[in-house]
């Protein structure tokens, strides 16, 4: 059977693959703790579920407008204005099947073959693969733990060439939890402002899972007016990963291109999920803060436990729900059976097999030498997982 070169050159999502592997082990009766996939462990708040049930009763069961219901796009437009101080009209917003599709839509709509896309790494697994789909060229800017995983303005400036078309930033970051301060963003904005041909894509999906007390949207810098596409959605803030609602908000021309693509590709997203998302944006927001506080408490717990493990190097994540410890101290060591740990992938596999804890290796995020733990799980599960990891790593000699 012929499979296209395009798909053959694509890597499967390692976050989803690792999660599936851990679920398979679980189904075979193995007591696996899954710290691989990144999703809130909370149930979707009741008022949001009720809105979806009402949507069915009210017969919101027909095809939806390609870019999403006008009422949802207006709710998002208000959210962007009130929470982020940025003005995007409903016509500048396209709702897709999750932020993942919204982002892929944008990349496919603005990147020509050979165009360069600057991505600080570590970066979420899907970015480089989406750029590959668009036949663009990934230009990776390395930002390790010694710089708290944040690319500097000088690094970004050095990466810019005449072929650069896009800068893709994610803050709070997956997989590191790092959050760019307003000052750090300003320095990057000052660089990009000198290159009017560059579009900035700002992935703000973890906006609300932020422990710094403040969030600045890249779209709020006047220097970049008309040149920023915001990616966001309900998956993380409202514990709605399975509903598949996310959006892009950006220049009208990009929104139109994305709508055209979506019209041929998937049509508008689910009617019921859109009505639920509308309730999320228009309804009470206390649930968001409650979940944020739980993530912050778990961040403190996981960081303190990880710092007790000799050999792990750990930053203090300021947002999202990931820890990205450096594991290079364990490379070259052997398991009791004599297997040598050559990569962080070997360590992630060893932790799955020996400790029954599923993580994701740094290679998946273009950053070998690290592993990612998602701590969006109960405190006791975090304690048990960290104990198992500590015991397993102590067996490496």
Name the site residues for ligand PMP (rule: CB under 6 A). Answer: 38, 98-100, 124, 170, 174, 203, 205, 233, 235, 241, 246
Query: Smallest gap, in angstroms, from Cβ of residue 163 to ligand GLU?
Result: 28
CB 256 within 8 A of CB 46: no
150 binds, among ligand PMP, ligand GLU, none (CB under 5 to 8 A by kind): none
Question: Closest by alpha carbon to 51, among 275, 298, 223, 235?
Answer: 275
203 binds, among ligand GLU, ligand PMP, none (CB under 5 to 8 A by kind): ligand PMP
Nearer Cβ to ligand GLU (38/268): 38
Query: Smallest gap, in angstroms, from Cβ of residue 38 to ligand GLU?
Result: 3
CB 215 within 8 A of CB 207: yes
Nearer Cβ to ligand PMP (99/288): 99
Name the site residues for ligand GLU (rule: CB under 6 A). Answer: 13, 15-16, 37-39, 100, 124-126, 174
37 binds, among ligand PMP, ligand GLU, none (CB under 5 to 8 A by kind): ligand GLU
Query: Smallest gap, in angstroms, from Cβ of residue 209 to ligand GLU?
Result: 12
Query: Smallest gap, in angstroms, from Cβ of residue 339 to ligand GLU?
Result: 27
16 binds, among ligand GLU, ligand PMP, none (CB under 5 to 8 A by kind): ligand GLU
Query: Smallest gap, in angstroms, from Cβ of residue 237 to ligand PMP?
Result: 10
Q: Which residue is nearest to ligand GLU (CB)?
A: 38
Nearer Cβ to ligand PMP (211/350): 211
């Amino acid at each position: 059977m012929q499979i296209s070169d395009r798909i053959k050159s694509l890597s499967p999502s390692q976050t989803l693959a690792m999660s599936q592997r851990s679920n398979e082990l679980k189904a075979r009766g193995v007591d696996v703790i899954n710290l691989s996939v990144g999703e809130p462990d909370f149930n979707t708040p009741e008022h949001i579920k009720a809105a979806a049930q009402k949507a069915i009763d009210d017969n919101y069961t027909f095809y939806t407008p390609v870019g999403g219901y006008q009422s949802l796009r207006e709710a998002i437009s208000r959210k962007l204005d009130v929470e982020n101080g940025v003005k995007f009209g409903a016509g500048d917003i396209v709702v897709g099947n999750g932020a993942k599709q919204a982002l892929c839509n944008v990349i496919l709509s603005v990147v020509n073959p050979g165009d360069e896309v600057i991505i600080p790494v570590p970066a979420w697994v899907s970015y480089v693969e989406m750029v590959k789909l668009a036949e663009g060229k990934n230009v990776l800017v390395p930002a390790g733990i010694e710089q708290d995983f944040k690319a500097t303005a000088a690094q970004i400036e050095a990466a810019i060439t005449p072929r650069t078309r896009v800068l893709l930033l994610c803050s709070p970051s997956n997989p590191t939890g790092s959050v760019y301060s307003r000052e750090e963003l300003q320095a990057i904005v000052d660089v990009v402002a000198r290159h009017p041909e560059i579009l900035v894509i700002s992935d703000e999906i973890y906006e609300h899972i932020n422990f710094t007390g403040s969030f600045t949207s890249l779209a709020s810098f006047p220097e970049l007016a008309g040149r920023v596409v915001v990616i966001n959605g309900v998956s993380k803030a409202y514990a709605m990963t399975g509903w598949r609602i996310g959006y892009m908000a950006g220049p009208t021309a990009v929104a139109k291109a994305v709508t055209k693509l979506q019209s041929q590709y998937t049509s508008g997203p689910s009617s019921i999920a859109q009505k639920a998302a509308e309730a999320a944006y228009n309804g009470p927001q206390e649930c968001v803060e409650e979940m944020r506080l739980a993530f912050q408490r778990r961040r403190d717990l996981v960081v303190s436990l990880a710092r007790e493990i000799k050999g792990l190097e750990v930053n203090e994540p300021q947002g999202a729900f990931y820890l990205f410890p450096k594991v290079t101290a364990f490379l070259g060591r052997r398991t009791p059976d004599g297997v040598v740990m050559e990569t962080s992938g070997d360590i992630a596999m060893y932790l799955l097999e020996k400790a029954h804890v599923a993580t994701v290796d740094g290679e998946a995020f273009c950053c070998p030498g690290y592993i990612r733990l998602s701590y969006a799980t109960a405190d006791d599960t975090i304690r048990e997982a960290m104990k198992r990891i500590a015991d397993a790593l102590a067996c490496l000699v």
